[in-house]
Amino acid sequence: MSTINALDHEKNARWAAVDDYVWTSLYSTPTPLLSSLSAALDHQHASGLPDIAVSRLQGAFLAQQTALQNRKHVLEVGTLGGYSTIWLASAAPKVQVVTVDIEAKHTEVARHSVTQAGFAERVEFITAPGVEALSKLRDEVKAGKRERFDFVFIDADKAGSADYVNLSLDMVVPGACIIVDNVVRRGRTADAEVAKTDVNVAGSRKVIEAVGRNPRLEASVLQTVGEKNYDGMLICRVVD
Ligand code: DHB
Ligand code: MG
C-alpha cells in the first residue's frame, strides 16, 4: 500500500457544511440542554483546553446510543471539558456517569459545565491517570462497592486505549458497549509504517488488533467525517 498523505484528509469545508446543515436541521429548537452544551464548549475554549471534544453530532450519537441501549452506568475515560459527559448524562434521567481525566484542570472545567447543565448529581469526577483510576474502579466493582458499567466511552490518551478496554472488561455487564474514539486518525491507522513514529496511530492499531483477538468482544469501526477531521470510532459489544 502506498503511504497515506495526511494532508489529503485535513478538515474539509464540505464535511463541515454538512455537519452545520444537519445540526441546524435536527436541533433547531432551543433547549436548556443545547444551551448548556454550547456553554460547555465556550467554557472549555475560554479555559485554554484543546479543541478536541467530540463534534456536536458525535455527541448526539453517543447520547442516542446510550438511550437506545437503555444504559444506566456509564464510564467515560477522558473528561476534557465535559462536553461528551453532558451528552452522555443527557441520554436519560437514570443515567449515572463516572468520568476520569488525568488533568485536574480538565475536571475543574468539566465540573463547572456539568453543574451548569444540571447534571452534577449524576456525574462523578475522578482525577487520576487512566490505568490507576480504572484499576481502583475495577477493585471497587469486584468488591461489590460499585455497580458494573454497561456503557464505556474511551477518549483519552490514545496510547492507553487498549489498556482502558482491558480494564473495562473486568467491570462491565455482559452485553456492554465499549466505544473508543479516534481510531482512524485521518486514515493513517491503516499504515503500519506510520505507527513506528506516531504514538497515537500505534495506540489505535494496538486497540483494534487487541479487540480483534479478544473472543469476548465483537466490534466494528465506523469511519467518520464532519466538522472534525476524518477519523472514526471503534464500537465493541461484550459478548459474554
Ligand atoms: C485527538 C484526541 C481526541 O480525543 C480527538 O477527538 C481528536 C484528536 C488527538 O489527541 O489528536
Ligand atoms: Mg476524541
Is 182's C-beta closer than 6 angstroms to any atom of ligand 1? yes
Ligand 1 atom at minimum distance from 231 CA: 7
Neighbours of ion ligand 2 (CB under 5 A): 155, 181-182
Ligand 1 atom at minimum distance from 155 CA: 4
pLDDT in tens, 29-52: 999 999 999 999 999 999 999 999
pLDDT in tens, 187-209: 999 999 999 999 999 999 999 99
Domain 11-238 homologous superfamily, CATH: Vaccinia Virus protein VP39 (3.40.50.150)
Q: Where are the domains of the chain?
A: 11-238
Per-chain mean pLDDT for the chain = 96
d(CA 73, CA 236): 16
